[in-house]
Structure 1
């Protein structure tokens, strides 16, 4: 690659979709094939989910990989200032690594499960990179879209209003917002699952709510919330949908 070409080539945020490699866009597949380096977020000692999706498309190639290992995940509470401090330093280090690769004349793509601009870690790199070098984001099917399709549950009808909620909200706030909307998606379950289940019950929505785990991936599970066993531990890749019941001809 010539120096002038390198100066114009953006760092890519590559949206890979909800998990099934067949749901990855043609544009994303082309980027996977052409990038010299593929960076991916992961926990220590584990292969990132986005990298796993990419493996099924272009195969594993350690020479192309940049593993960006989170310094913390659930070890520190999100509201603890130490959490933000640790993540800020981590993202700065990731940016420095990506910029170094680009300065060396290599094309770089950052792998993102779901859509990069929907609760994605890519956004934290994008915010730091966009004033310094060209950056481009390739959109993708979201996890929630994969989930309501897996559940065979149209999410909105007629004039239904859809609200997307993080399970990290306080229980009372979750219940209030659930009562005030026609349809809902609740993300970030994990250890918030018991609180989310209680909020659904308080809002009177347990009967309409559906729990979806690993939508479109191996091990996919779709269960009415009312039938989820007591004591169930929700993994990171899980969410709840509450389909709307609005106007239809």
Structure 2
């Protein structure tokens, strides 16, 4: 009998934001797999730590932080092969994913390598965007407004064009790109409409006006922009 693969969203960091389904699947898994930075700890494992069964088999997928795609792709090849070995002997494998598995989630790379051979279920999780909006305590969108989600690493020109044409904006993966993002928003006269959120839902969470955002910013930070239409008031 072949085992089943699960890609389980854990939410943005607070373990209490895991869904009941995620918690149940983790507690009953034969094998737990998770990405980890090469030489570092796994944020995903830390979120789920209290739910891990005693003695559960673990597969750590060491993903290098590199702008080149090849090293990370090789890491996912290795991880997928290890997971396949467990599935082939009938073990259920739960892959832990920060946030949601298919919202900028690393699970997509394992899914593409394994889902055509093994039964796979994807369990949605709370996204960092909704967590940051809750931390900001202000709606991102209302009625017919459109939310645009933008990755911070894109070029300044592309960022400028996309923000200028948007109604509400979430800029993710801020990190070292914060100075560029600040300048683009200042050029568009949107600094006063922008809020910086760092490590949402964790005890070290920060919510600040963009002008007060610390540099350097961590990877797990986001900038939310509402343009002052406030149709929900």
Answer whether TM exceeds 0.5 for this pair: yes
Question: Taking structure 2 as the reference length, what is the TM-score of the superposition?
Answer: 0.94
Q: 1:60-139 alignment to 2 at 5 Å?
A: 61=54, 63-70=56-63, 72-73=64-65, 76=66, 78=67, 83-139=68-124
C-alpha separation in 1, matches of 2:109 and 2:18: 22
Which moves more between the two structures, 133-142 or 197-206?
A: 197-206
1:45 shift after superposition: 3.0
Q: 1:202-217 alignment to 2 at 5 Å?
A: 202-217=187-202
Question: Taking structure 1 as the reference length, what is the TM-score of the superposition?
Answer: 0.88
Q: Unaligned stretches of 5+ in structure 2?
A: none
1:189 shift after superposition: 0.9
Question: Is 2:23 the counterpart of 1:40?
Answer: no
Q: Unaligned stretches of 5+ in structure 1?
A: none
C-alpha separation in 2, matches of 1:197 and 1:65: 41
Find the residue that maps to 1:46 and give its secondary structure: coil
Find the residue that maps to 1:157 and give its secondary structure: coil
Q: Which residue is 2:19 aligned to?
A: 25
Q: Which digits, 9 at most, give the CA deviation of each residue in 1:207-231, with x for residues without a partner?
A: 01000000001200000102224xx
Q: 1:167-186 alignment to 2 at 5 Å?
A: 167-186=152-171
For the 8 Å contact 1:151–1:212, the answer to whether it is kept is yes
C-alpha separation in 2, matches of 1:62 and 1:90: 25
For the 8 Å contact 2:194–2:210, the answer to whether it is kept is yes
C-alpha separation in 2, matches of 1:192 and 1:141: 25
Point out 4+ residue stretches in structure 1 off by more than 4 angstroms.
none
For the 8 Å contact 2:59–2:79, the answer to whether it is kept is no
Find the residue that maps to 2:96 and give its secondary structure: strand
Q: Which residue is 2:222 aligned to?
A: 239
C-alpha separation in 2, matches of 1:62 and 1:226: 47
1:63 shift after superposition: 4.3
Aligned residue pair count: 232
RMSD (Å) for aligned C-alpha atoms: 1.5
Match of 1:51 among 32, 45, 53: 45
